[in-house]
Amino acid sequence: MLRRIVGIETEFGITSVGGEGARSLGADEIARYLFRPVVERWRSSNVFLENGSRLYLDVGSHPEYATAECDGLRQLVAHDRAGERIVDDLGLCAEQSLAAEGIDANVYLFKNNTDTVGNSYGCHENYLLDRATQVRSIGTTLLPFLVSRQLYCGAGKILPGTPPGLGLDQAPGPTFCFSQRAEHMWDGVSSATTRSRPLINTRDEPHADSTRFRRMHVIVGDSNMIETTTLLKIATTRLVLEMLEAGVELRPMAVAHPVRAIREISRDLTGTRPVTMTDGTTMNALEIQREFLAAVHRYLDTGGWERDDRVVVNQCVALWERVLDAVESGDHDSIAADIDWAAKLRLIRQVQDRTGVDLDHPRLAQIDLTYHDIRPGRGLHSVLERRGLVSRVVDDAEVEHARAVAPETTRAALRGRFITAAREAGRDHTVDWVHLKVTDGALPTVALTDPFADEDPRVDDLISALGR
């Protein structure tokens, strides 16, 4: 499947800080203010927007934004960034509502994966697969890739000492690690999502024609701020999937204990800590990633096919190799413009060099958190971006377009057209990933079972009938 539908679901952390003497607001109360304009407009806190995306309030008072179906890498990056701006707009509206009621409070939304009391919330990736592809069968091969890809797609985190369990070495003090999510995964491949948090979720929920498609749900990734990190996370995973589907031979690599391995790799910035394989041998994260990188090079060199985003893919493969070289050499600053954990680590080291504080200092904890603040001009990532210190994949105009317009090359275009037309006609409607329905039942429900189809005469007829 060289043309592949991909989407990203992001759960945002939420809190507020009040002025002196102001009462404290809980996350659930902030969330109610946050989603007040959504409920007023749609009478629900679970809605699909004109750009084809889904916006809703998830368990634990976490705003969640799921991009529309995308089949291009740049397209997906633009729609992921559009989600940040849509959610931040809700934060601004919430602050105005609070102020109108005499409540002095600033709303903070974080695109990260952990809070201060140890809870974790996710960034999930969805990859459309052919029905013939068995998720469990490719899972054994994918697991070593997923546990080691944090070398380039981790968001970085100050870990306050190594917690007990899993037989890991106990660290006496805080350490900087690659990934925020690694400490919260408890299974390799499973149908559960919250109870055991597997790296790969096997629940058979394709949101499409189940005789043709299945969906691979990856819940192990960190939420990323730098566009090139997001691009690299998706591009490398998509390439590995294509390669496996094409039958490219790989050196046998099966991790004996994936959960232990992902934690061990996260805590070792050298990428050289040995990970035990099922055959009794050991490999480190760099070795695992270089095996996959070499196989992808062989796959791309076979030729015989063309793709619209081949230039972007080549750039991603070059960055992939450059990041592995930087981890191996220890020259982390050389990738600080492209990779989240390296950008955050550089900020932390700059403060340490000036002040001499240890990793457990509150000022560094603030940097760790504020890096993920999505408010332009307030979040550290946005400050770096404004100063040209981190890389971009798309420009602001593309992000603004993605806020309003659904991807034009997938079924999201049909969903976006219907939602826009129903709103303009004043017709109540119900939408999910597959179905378009007018609530009063006066018109037939249309099921969009092919995620690749961006044209459908049934949708044209439905939209035409809306204004009658």
Render pLDDT for 225-262 as a digit per residue (tens, 0 to 9).
Answer: 999 999 999 999 999 999 988 888 888 899 999 999 99
The response to whether 9 counts as a known ligand-binding position is yes
Measured CA to CA, the distance from residue 15 to residue 22 in angstroms comes to: 14
Measured CA to CA, the distance from residue 397 to residue 171 in angstroms comes to: 46
The response to whether 299 counts as a known ligand-binding position is no
* 20 C-beta neighbours (distance < 10 Å), count: 5
pLDDT above 70: percentage of residues in the chain: 93
Measured CA to CA, the distance from residue 98 to residue 219 in angstroms comes to: 34
Predicted pLDDT of residue 137: 74
Q: What residue type is 406 in one-letter code?
A: A
Name, in order, each residue with C-beta under 8 angstroms of 462's C-beta and a sequence gap of 6 or more. 418, 436, 438, 443, 444, 446
Question: Is 183 a residue whose pLDDT tops 50?
Answer: yes
The response to whether 69 counts as a known ligand-binding position is no
348-354 average pLDDT score: 97
Measured CA to CA, the distance from residue 69 to residue 7 in angstroms comes to: 6
Predicted pLDDT of residue 122: 85
Instruction: Report the relative pairing of strands 198-201 and 187-190 from DSSP bridges.
Output: parallel
Q: Which positions are catalytic?
A: 58
Question: Is 291 a residue whose pLDDT tops 50?
Answer: yes
pTM here?
Answer: 0.94
Predicted pLDDT of residue 193: 53
Q: What is the pLDDT of residues 406-435, one digit of tens each?
A: 999 999 999 999 999 999 999 999 999 999
Q: What is the pLDDT of residues 313-330, one digit of tens each?
A: 999 999 999 999 999 999
Q: Which helix (H) or strand (E) holds 66?
A: strand 62-66
Name, in order, each residue with C-beta under 8 angstroms of 466's C-beta and a sequence gap of 6 or more. 421, 422, 425, 427, 438, 443
The DSSP output letter for 215 is E
The response to whether 29 counts as a known ligand-binding position is no
What 3 state SS string does 246-292 have?
CCCCCCCCCECCHHHHHHHHHCCCCCCCCEEECCCCEECHHHHHHHH
Q: Which helix (H) or strand (E) holds 431?
A: strand 429-431
Measured CA to CA, the distance from residue 351 to residue 334 in angstroms comes to: 18
Q: What residue type is 288 in one-letter code?
A: I
Furthest CA-CA distance within the chain: 71
6-26 average pLDDT score: 87
Question: Is 297 a residue whose pLDDT tops 60?
Answer: yes
| Average pLDDT across the chain, whole number | 91
Number of residues assigned to the chain = 468
**Residue whose token pair is 């981190």:** 390
For 279, half-sphere exposure in the C-beta direction (CA atoms, 13 angstrom radius) is 7
**Beta-bridge mates of residue 277:** 255
Measured CA to CA, the distance from residue 15 to residue 33 in angstroms comes to: 12
Q: Which residue has the higher pLDDT, 19 or 265?
A: 265
Predicted pLDDT of residue 166: 47
Would you place residue 190 in the very low, low, confident or very high pLDDT band (cuts 50, 70, 90)? low
Would you place residue 37 in the very low, low, confident or very high pLDDT band (cuts 50, 70, 90)? very high
Q: What is the pLDDT of residues 92-124, one digit of tens each?
A: 999 999 999 999 999 999 999 998 777 888 899
Q: Which of 167-171, 243-247, 350-354 has the lowest mean pLDDT?
A: 167-171
Q: What residue type is 423 in one-letter code?
A: R
The response to whether 56 counts as a known ligand-binding position is yes
Predicted pLDDT of residue 66: 98
Name, in order, each residue with C-beta under 8 angstroms of 240's C-beta and a sequence gap of 6 or more. 142, 145, 292, 296
**Beta-bridge mates of residue 6:** 70, 127
Using alpha carbons, select from 407, 428, 399 the residue that is nearest to residue 52.
407
Predicted pLDDT of residue 187: 65
The response to whether 214 counts as a known ligand-binding position is no
Structure tokens at 439: 């609530």
pLDDT above 90: percentage of residues in the chain: 75
Q: Between helices 227-245 and 310-329, what is the axis angle to 10°?
A: 110
Distances (CA, A) of 117 to 35, 109, 120, 365: 24, 16, 9, 13
Contact 196, 42 (CB under 8 A): no
Q: What is the pLDDT of residues 47-93, one digit of tens each?
A: 999 999 999 998 778 999 999 999 999 999 999 999 999 999 999 99
Measured CA to CA, the distance from residue 180 to residue 175 in angstroms comes to: 12
